[in-house]
Chains A and B, each alone.
Chain A
C-alpha cells in the first residue's frame, strides 16, 4: 500500500525567502505526482503535475522535482510572498483512481 508523507507539517518563513517542501512515498512504481495548494475551507488548486518519465516541472516561481528511485518529490518556491500562505499537498498516482494517495499537507505561512 502506497504511503505518502509530507514533512514538515507546518512551516513559517519570512517574506522573500526561498523554501522547499518535501513529499515522500514508499512505492516507487508511480504514474505521476501532482502538487496542489489548498486555501482554508477551499478546494485544491493544481500547481504542477509530473509524469513518471519526467524529472521536474516549472511554473513561475515554482519548481517541482521527482526522484522515483528515492521516493521523493520536492516543491521549491522562490522568493516567497504572503499570498503563498496555504496548505500544500502532494498526490501520488500509483495506477489509477484507486491508487491515488494524498499527503496530509504542509501548512505554509509567509510572514510579511
Chain B
C-alpha cells in the first residue's frame, strides 16, 4: 500500500481482556517495528522484524505481549490479560532496511484499558 496502515485506530478494552493490533506495512519494506508511546513520553521500542529472520523481541515488556509477522506482510501485536498500564498509543513503522532507510509510521492504535 501507499502507507503503513494500522487498525483499529482506537480500542477501549476492559482490564483482563486480550487485544490484537494490526499493522500492514508498505509493500517491499522488509523491516517492521512496533513502538509504544505512553502519554507525554518518548517512543519505547517493542519488537523488530526483518524479512524471514527471527524477530528481536527484546523490547517486549512482559510475556503478556507477543507479535507475529508472516514474511514481509501484515504483523499483529497481541496483548493478553491487559492491564491499565498497557494504555498507550501503539505505533508501527516499516522501512526498506534498518540502516539507511527512513521510517514510515502508521497512524497508531490508541489503546485504553478501563
What is A's interface to B at a CB cutoff of 8 Å? 31-32, 34, 36, 41-46, 49, 51, 89, 91, 93, 95-98, 100, 102-105
Contacts and interface: CB of A to CB of B under 8 A. Distances in A.
A36 B33 CA distance: 16
B42 A44 contact: no
A100 B33 CA distance: 11
B42 A42 contact: no
A89 B108 CA distance: 16
Interface stretch (B12-20, B70-78, B98-106): B98-106
Contacts of B4: 43
A42 B100 contact: no
Nearest to A42: B107
B6 interface: yes
A51 B91 contact: no
Contact of B108 (A31, A43, A91, A104): A43
B28 to A, nearest CB: 16
Given A44-B91, A97-B33, A104-B41, A31 B56 contact: no
B110 interface: yes
Chain B interface secondary structure, helix, strand, loop or mixed? strand
Interface residues of B, number: 24
B43 interface: yes
16 contacts: A34-B102, A43-B89, A43-B105, A43-B107, A44-B91, A44-B93, A46-B104, A46-B105, A49-B102, A51-B100, A93-B99, A96-B99, A97-B31, A97-B48, A97-B56, A103-B42
B56 A98 contact: yes
Interface in B26-69: 31, 33, 41-43, 45, 48, 56
A34 B103 contact: yes
Given A41-B89, A44-B105, A95 B99 contact: yes
B17 to A, nearest CB: 22
A96 B96 CA distance: 12
B98 A32 contact: no
